Amino acid sequence: MKEAPARGFRVRPALAGDLPEAMELAGEAEARYLAALQGGADLHLVAEQSDRLLGMGLARILVPSSMSDERAAEVSNVYVRPDARGLGVGRALVSALARWSRERGARRLVVKTYTQNEEALRFWEALSFRPRYVQMTALTEDLAGREPG
Ligand SMILES: CC(C)(COP(=O)(O)OP(=O)(O)OC[C@H]1O[C@@H](n2cnc3c(N)ncnc32)[C@H](O)[C@@H]1OP(=O)(O)O)[C@@H](O)C(=O)NCCC(=O)NCCS
């Protein structure tokens, strides 16, 4: 993995021993994290500075779907420790995930993010991500109505 000594951190594959600290960074998504460590189909990276983790990110190669016949990789669990934001850690993680994905034939990265998460949207836009399709949602109770008859 490429070192970034000038910025004082490096991106490297995650190890089983990183799990407790990675879970401190972002408690959710433990199952995906464990699957990524065990299987070869996913890549889980961490950004490390001295002896602490600054951030992490995961990529998974997607099989072509009805929405697209292009091979793509889904990026998820991108998280940077609040006191390390704005230093290029997130960009370095996603760049390394992109290199790995490209080597596996993925032409695109895709990411799901909540429309309310404006901080994340600005980050993905700065990295050249653009909206492609929209998932719309409604509450079942608003739609189910009353039983006919
Ligand atoms: C979003 C997040 C991963 C960004 O990580 P980061 O290490 O601070 O990002 P970087 O320093 O690598 O910034 C990369 C680019 O994104 C832009 N960017 C990052 N955060 C931004 C923000 N809050 N507002 C505007 N632009 C932002 C930077 O300006 C930078 O642009 P540049 O390279 O053209 O100068 C981090 O804020 C985070 O962990 N947030 C909480 C978790 C989250 O929302 N993850 C995404 C889930 S989908």
Residue 101 in any domain: the answer is yes
Judge whether residue 67 has pLDDT over 90. no
What mean pLDDT value characterizes the chain? 87
Judge whether residue 53 has pLDDT over 60. yes
Among 33-42, 48-57, 113-122, the least confident range: 33-42
The count of other CB atoms within 10 Å of the CB of residue 29 is: 17
Residue 149 in any domain: the answer is no
Nearest CA to ligand 1 atom 12: 88
The total of structural domains in the chain comes to 1
The model carries a pTM of 0.83
Judge whether residue 28 has pLDDT over 80. no
Residue 132 in any domain: the answer is yes
Residue 8 in any domain: the answer is yes
Residue 32 in any domain: the answer is yes
Residue 119 in any domain: the answer is yes
| Distance from Cα 13 to the centre of ligand 1, integer Å | 21
Q: How far is CA 63 from CA 81, 94, 132, in A?
A: 31, 20, 17
Residue 96 in any domain: the answer is yes
The separation between the first and the last C-alpha atoms of the chain, rounded to the nearest angstrom, is: 65
Kindly state if the Cβ of 123 falls inside 6 Å of ligand 1: yes
Q: Where residue 71 sits, what CATH number does that domain have?
A: 3.40.630.30
Q: Region of 50 please: left (phi>0), alpha (psi -120 to 50) or beta.
A: left
Kindly state if the Cβ of 57 falls inside 6 Å of ligand 1: no
| Distance from Cα 148 to the centre of ligand 1, integer Å | 50
Q: Provide the domain limits for residue 134.
A: 3-144
